[in-house]
Structure 1
Amino acid sequence: MKNIKFSILVVAAAMTIMSCRKTNTPDPVAPPKAPESISGEISANKTLTADRQWILDGTVFVKSPAVLTIQPGTVIKAKVGSKAALVIDKGAKIIADGTASKPIVFTSGKDAGSRAPGDWGGLILVGRATTNRTAPVNVEGGVALTYGTDKIDDDDSGILRYVRIEYAGIGANDSEINALTFYAVGNKTVVENVQTVYANDDAFEFFGGTVNAKNLVAYATADDDFDFDFGYSGSIQFAVALRDPKFVDAQDDGNGIECDNDNAGSDALPITKPKLSNFTLIGPNGADGTAARHAYGNRWRRGTQFIFNNSIILANQKGGLNIESDKSANFYKNGNSEFKNNLIAASTNQILTNAAASILTVADIQTKVVVNGGAIYSNVNTDVKLTSPFVLTGPNFLPATGSPALSGTWAATPGATSVSYRGAFGTTDWTSGWTNWNPQTKVY
C-alpha cells in the first residue's frame, strides 16, 4: 500500500511540473558569459562558442595543424586600438560554418554609432595552391608569413559560410590588409554567403590560388570590391557589390573588379584568369556628394585574362567595361578571355580601353559585347529595371517585371550552374536574413 501511494505521488508531481511548463513562463535563458580575449598563436584545436563574445587582440595566428571552429551566431570583436587581424596559416583551418539565422560576425570593438572603416585589420587565409610566383612572397600588411610556391591546388583551409566581416581593412602603400584576403587558397576550401561591410581597402582579394566561392556581398567598399592577382584561376558565381557614393579610398580608384596578372603585367604563368558568372556590380549612380575616386565596373589590366558572363554592370561612375593593356586587349580579341551575356549601363563611358587602336578600339569592344549576347544601355536603371538597387540601408536587387536581366541566352561558364537570369538574383533574394545593410546601428 505504501508503494502504491508513493507511485501516485510521483505521477502527480510529474503532471504538476508538466502543467506548469505548459502554462507558466519558459525556463530562463542563461545569461551570456563574460567576453574572452584571443591573442598570439593558436596551435591546438580551439572552439569559439556562441555563448560569449570573443575579443581579437592584435594579430592572431592559427598555426598548422590547428583547426579553429566558430559556432553559428558567434560574435568576434576586434580590441579597440589593436589593429587586430585573424590569420589562418598554411596547413591550419577555420571552420566558421554559420547559418542564415545565425551568421558568424567579425566586427569593430567600438560601440554602435562610433564604428568606422579600418577599425581593425581583417581575415586572412594563407594556403598552398598554385600562384604564378617563382619565389616566396610576403603576405601584405606586415604579417610575417610567406606563400606562393606550393602547387597543392586541392588544399583545404576550411569553411567560411554565412559570415559577416564589418569595418575591417588597413590600407597603406600597396601592403594592405583587406576585409577578406585569400593567399594561394585551394579549391577544397568552402566559401559561401560572406558579406564584407565598409571595408577600408578591398572587400575580397585573391592572390593566386584555386578557391571557388558563391553568394558574396561587398557593401560600401573603399577600394575594389573584388581584386584578382598572381594567377588566380578559381570560379565565383552569384556576387553583388553596392557602393556608398560618399565613401571611397581618396588615394586610389574604387572598382567593382580590378584584375592583373601581376604588378608588372608580365607573362608569368599561370596567367590570372578568374571565372565569374552572375555578378551584379552597383556603382554610386552619380548621387549628390559622390566621392571622386569611384571608378569602373570591370577593370581588366596588366596582362590579365578573364571570364565574366551573365552579369550586370550598373551605374559605375567612370565607366562599365575597361580593358586597359595591349596584352589584356589581345586576350579578349583572340578569345582567351570572355565577356558574354552581360548588361552594361554605367553612369558615363559604358566601354573604355587604352589599348592600341590597332589591337582593339572602343567600337570593336562594343560590337563584340553585343555579338556575344550583351546589351549596352544609356539610361542606367531605367533600362535595366532592378527593383531598388541604390537604397543603401535596404537595397532590393531583384529584377522587376520586364527587366532584361530576366532574359538572354545563358553563357556557359566553368564552375557555374546554369540559371535563367543575368546578374546575381532571379526571383529569390539570397541575402535575406543574414546580411546587414545598417551596421552602424547594430548593437552586439
Structure 2
Amino acid sequence: MKKVLSALVVSSLLFTACVKVEIDDSTTNNGNGGSGCSDGTKQEQIICSKIITGQISEDVVLPKGKYTLKGYVYVTNRASLTIAAGSVIVGDTISKGALIIERNSRLIADGTQTEPIVFTSGRKPGSRLPGDWGGIILLGNAPTNHPTTPTIEGGVNAQYGGSIAADNSGILRYVRIEFAGIASDPGSEINGLTCGGVGSGTILENIQVSFGNDDAYEFFGGTVNAKNIVALATADDDFDFDNGYVGRIQFAVSMRKPDFVDPGDAGNGIECDNNAGGTTATPRTRPQLSNFTIIGPNSATAAANHNYSNRWRRATQFVLRNSILMGHPDAGFSMESDETVTDYYVNNISEFKNNLVHAETNPYRSNSTVATAAQIKTKAEADGCITYTNINDIQLEAPFYSTNPNFLPKTGSPALAGASFTGMTGFTSTTYRGAFGTTNWAAGWTNWDPQNAAY
C-alpha cells in the first residue's frame, strides 16, 4: 500500500524526524554528503537528508525546500513524486542526477507564477555548465510507431509506449529546467525534458528549459499537449519530435545563443522525423503546432553548427501555423525527404500556413525531387505566409539573445495580425502570429540569466 502523509504530518516531520548530523561534503560537490537519515519511509529520508536518490516506489510528497538529485532516480511501482511550489532541485554534478518517471507513475511538479519549481545545476552561480546533470524523463503508455516497446535513450533502463492515448504522467506547470543534458553514448542523450509515449492526460504548461547540452524538449511518440513553453540557449534542437508524436503545442518560444551550439551536431529550432529509419510506420509523426516564435542566432560570428529554423525530414508529417521563423543561418523552412515533401506539397496532409519566414540564406529549402525550394515558397505564400529578406521588417521588440529579451511585436508589426485557425481544433484562436501578442505570458516565472541566479 502506498503511504501518503498529510501536510500536518509532513510539517511535524521537519521538526521531529530529523536528527542533526555532521555532513561529510567529500562525497558530493553539492554539500549534502552522508545524510544520517536511513530509517523511516522514503519520504522521511528525503525530507531529513534533503537528498533525492535511489528508487521511489511509494508516494512521496515533498514540502517546499531545496533538495539534491543524486544519480539516476526512478519513480516506479505506480508511485507519485509531488514537489511543492517554490522548491529548488539541484542536480548533483558528480553522479549526474536525473529524474525518470516510469510508466504508470507520476511527477506532480505544480509551481506558480510567483513560485516556480526550479531544477538546476548543483554548481555555484557563475560556474554552472550545460550538462551538469541529467534532466527529467517522463514515460507513459501512449502510442508510438516503434514495432516493439522501446527503451528510452540516455542510458536509462526504462521502457515507454502502449495503447492508452489519454495516459497521465502527471503535471509540470511553472517549472524551469536548467543546465541539463548528458550523453550516455553518442546519439543517446538525456534532454532537458524527454517525453516517451506520454499521454494527453499529462499537463505540460509554462516550462522553461535553459542551457541544455542536448535538445531542450524531445517527444518520442505520444499524444501529450503543451502550451507556454520556452527554450533558451539550447546546444542541439529546441523542439524535437519523432516515433509517432501527434500532440498539439501552442505558444512556444526559442532563443539561440550565438556562441553556443553542439559542436558535433546541427542545432535547429524544430527537428522532426517519423522515425530514425525514415519509414512510413504508423502512427505517422505529425505534431500540430501554432504560435511559435523561433529565434536564431542572427549573428555573422555565430558558431558554425547553428542550422535551420525548421527541419522536417525522414517521412514526417506536420502542422505549423501562425508562427515566426527568423534569424537562422542556413534555412527557415526545410524539408529533406520525398515522403515529407509529397505529404506537404502534393497531398496537403502537412500544413505550413500564415507564418512569417526569414533566414539569413534560403528561407525555403528542399532536398527532394518532388518540389523545388521555389515551388515550396510559392505554396507557402499562397497559404498566407510572408517571406522576409530584412529581419527587422518583422518588428519584434528585442528578440535576439540577451538576458533581457522582449519577444512582443512592436506597434505596426505584421505579427499582430494574420493568424488563421480554420480547420484547427483544440487551439486558442488569436489574431496574432508568434508566441506573444500584447501580453507577456513568460513574465514573472522565467529566468533569462540562470548562470547567475542565487538558489
Aligned residue for 1:147, secondary structure, equals coil
Partners of 2:426 and 2:189 in 1: CA distance: 29
Aligned to 1:18: none
Deviation of 1:407 after TM superposition, in Å, equals: 1.5
Structure 1 unmatched ranges of 5 or more: 1-32
d(CA) in 2 for partners of 1:414 and 1:348?
A: 34
> 1:36-115 alignment to 2 at 5 Å?
36-50=50-64, 52-115=65-128
Residues 20-61 of structure 1: CA deviation (Å, up to 9, x unaligned): xxxxxxxxxxxxx986111110011111221x3111010000
SS of the residue corresponding to residue 188 of structure 2 reads coil
CA change 1:409–1:77 in 2 (3 A) is: closer
Matched, 1:302 2:314: yes
Residue 160 of structure 2 corresponds to 147
1:28 corresponding residue in structure 2? none
Matched, 1:159 2:176: no
Counterpart CA distance in 2 for 1:67 and 1:286 is 45
For 1:191 and 1:403, the matched residues in 2 are separated by: 30
Question: Is the CA contact (8 Å cut-off) linking 1:245 and 1:287 kept in structure 2?
Answer: no
Give the deviation of 1:268 after TM superposition: 0.3
User: Matched residues in 1 for 2:260 and 2:48: separation?
Assistant: 35
8 A contact 1:169–1:177 mirrored in 2: yes
Alignment RMSD (CA, Å): 1.1
SS of the equivalent of 1:284 reads coil
Q: Distance in 1 between matches of 2:225 and 2:425?
A: 11
1:286 has 2:296 as partner: no
Deviates more, 1:268-277 or 1:137-146: 137-146
| Alignment-mate amino acid for residue 330 of structure 2 | K
Matches of 1:96 and 1:296 in 2, distance apart?
A: 32
Partners of 2:244 and 2:285 within 8 A in 1 = yes
Write the distance in 2 (CA, Å) between the matches of 1:211 and 1:337: 19
Is it true that 1:216 corresponds to 2:199 in the alignment? no
Asked if residue 360 in structure 1 is aligned to residue 376 in structure 2, the reply is no
Match of 1:428 among 415, 439, 452: 439
Q: 1:269 aligns with which of 282, 298, 302?
A: 282
Q: Which moved more, 1:403-412 or 1:414-423?
A: 403-412
Q: Could you tell me which residue of structure 2 aligns to residue 24 of structure 1?
A: none
Q: Describe how 1:124-273 pairs up with structure 2 within 5 A.
A: 124-148=137-161, 150-171=162-183, 172-273=185-286
Structure 2 residue identity aligned to 1:69: T
Amino acid at match of 1:99: T
Distance 1:409 1:201 in 2: 32
Q: Does 1:394 align with 2:433?
A: no
Structure 2 match to 1:370: 381
Q: Does 1:419 align with 2:433?
A: no
Structure 1 409/157 Cα, relative in aligned 2: closer, same or farther at 3 Å?
Answer: closer
Instruction: Look up the match of 1:5.
Output: none
334, 338, 341: which one aligns with 1:329: 341
Deviation of 1:134 after TM superposition, in Å, equals: 1.7
Deviations 1:350-401 (A, max 9, x none): 1111111xx1111111111111011000001x11000000142010000001
SS in 2 for 1:335: coil
Change (3 A) 1:393 1:409: closer
Distance (whole Å) between structure 1 residues aligned to residue 51 and residue 70 of structure 2: 7
Is the contact between residue 178 and residue 201 of structure 1 (CA under 8 Å) also seen in structure 2?
yes
How many pairs does the alignment contain?
A: 406
SS at match of 1:57: strand
One-letter code aligned to 2:333: L
Q: What amino acid maps onto 1:311 in structure 2?
A: S
Contact 1:236 1:415 in 2 (8 A): no
Displacement of 1:264 after TM fit?
0.9
- In 1, the alpha carbon distance for the partners of 2:48 and 2:395 equals 48
Post-superposition offset of 1:251: 0.5
Identity of aligned residues (%): 55
**Cα distance change, pair 409–104 in 1 and its aligned pair in 2 (3 A):** closer
- The whole-number CA distance in structure 1 between the counterparts of 2:449 and 2:48 is 26
> Which residue type is aligned with residue 323 of structure 2?
S
List alignment gaps of at least 5 residues for structure 2.
Answer: 1-46
1:365–1:169 Cα change, 3 Å: same
SS at match of 1:152: coil
**Superposition deviation, residue 80 in structure 1:** 2.4
Asked if the contact 1:248/1:294 (under 8 Å) is kept, the reply is yes
Q: AA paired with 1:36?
A: K
User: Is the 8 Å Cα contact of residues 294 and 325 (structure 2) preserved in structure 1?
Assistant: yes
Give the alignment of 1:7-18 within 5 angstroms.
none
Q: How many Å apart are 1:287 and its aligned residue?
A: 4.6
- How big is each residue's C-alpha offset from its partner over 1:256-311, in whole Å with a ceiling of 9 and x where there is no partner? 000000011101001000000000000000253x1110000000000000000000
Cα deviation, residue 349, structure 1:
1.1
Larger Rg belongs to: 1
Paired amino acid for 1:324: E
> Which whole-Å CA distance do the structure 2 matches of 1:414 and 1:330 have between them?
24
Contact kept in structure 2, 1:48 and 1:54, CA below 8 Å: no
Cα pair distance change 1:391/1:293, threshold 3 Å = closer
Whether the 8 Å contact between 1:341 and 1:411 is mirrored in structure 2 is no
Alignment partner, residue 19 of structure 1:
none
TM-fit CA distance, 1:438: 0.6
Q: Tell me the CA shift for residue 402 of structure 1.
A: 1.0
Structure 2 residue aligned with 1:12: none
Question: Does the 8 Å CA contact 2:322/2:434 hold for their aligned counterparts?
Answer: yes
What secondary structure, in the 3-state scheme, does the structure 2 residue paired with 1:181 have? strand
Runs of 4+ displaced beyond 6 Å: none
Aligned residues of 2:319 and 2:352 also touching (Cα < 8 A): yes
Distance 2:96 2:402 in 1: 27
* Alpha-carbon contact 1:342-1:374 (below 8 Å) kept: yes
Amino acid at match of 1:303: A
